Amino acid sequence: MDIKVLLLLPAILLVSMPFSIPLSQAATIGVSATLLPACEAGTTTSGSTSFGTLNFGNYASLTSAINATSAQLAGSIRVKCVNGLAYKIVMDGGSSGVVTARRMVNTTNSAVSLQYNLYTTAARTTVWDNTTGVSNTGNGADQWATVYGRVPAQSTPAAGVYQDTVNVTVSW
């Protein structure tokens, strides 16, 4: 045999042999996500998170009880938890430190105060406390808990602006 034929033999065999080159190949890719048991609460503005202010309004006398009901961004508590996650909202006693005897303090004379309290229902029979609070289950959307306030009839203190800050804790 001629040396040229021997050198061409592998090329001739490759061309004459039927073989297939795969034009595609299938494989799988794993995909996963973990949804954490989480909630968000309040509205954050300039780095501070709050629920707004429950405002009792302006009065010249406290001879009768004054009721106030919260609204969205004005004292109502916004909670957004993943669907099916149970959560609880509790409140501390504010500046008095006692949930059954909350008080607002005069902004110019802290020795003068005004009694008030916060309740879980419109009947204002159950004080919103720091242990039982209000429980609910998340649905993946904003849920608003209404806060019911009452300033009971009392001796009218000095005229002025009275305020308090109550810490709200949402746990899940």
Q: What contacts 162, CB < 8 A, 6 or more positions away? A: 104, 105, 106, 107, 113, 114
Q: How far apart are CA 23 and CA 21, in angstroms?
A: 6
Phi then psi for residue 45, to 5 deg, are -130, 125
pLDDT tens figures, 154-167: 999 999 999 999 99
Q: What is the average per-residue pLDDT within 10-38?
A: 78
For residue 105, pLDDT over 90 is answered with yes
Task: Give 147's pLDDT tier (boundaries 50, 70, 90).
Answer: very high
SS3 6: helix
Q: Assess if CATH 3.40.50.720 describes domain 63-171.
A: no
Q: What is the average per-residue pLDDT within 78-86?
A: 96
Q: What is the average per-residue pLDDT within 12-41?
A: 80
Q: What pTM was estimated for this model as a whole?
A: 0.81
Residue 48 pLDDT: 84
For residue 1, pLDDT over 80 is answered with no
Token pair 């799988």 is found at 28
Residue 171 pLDDT: 96
Task: Give 40's pLDDT tier (boundaries 50, 70, 90).
Answer: very high
Please answer whether residues 90 and 131 qualify as being in contact, where contact means their C-beta atoms are separated by less than 8 angstroms: yes
For residue 32, pLDDT over 70 is answered with yes
Instruction: Spell out the domain ranges in the chain.
Output: 63-171
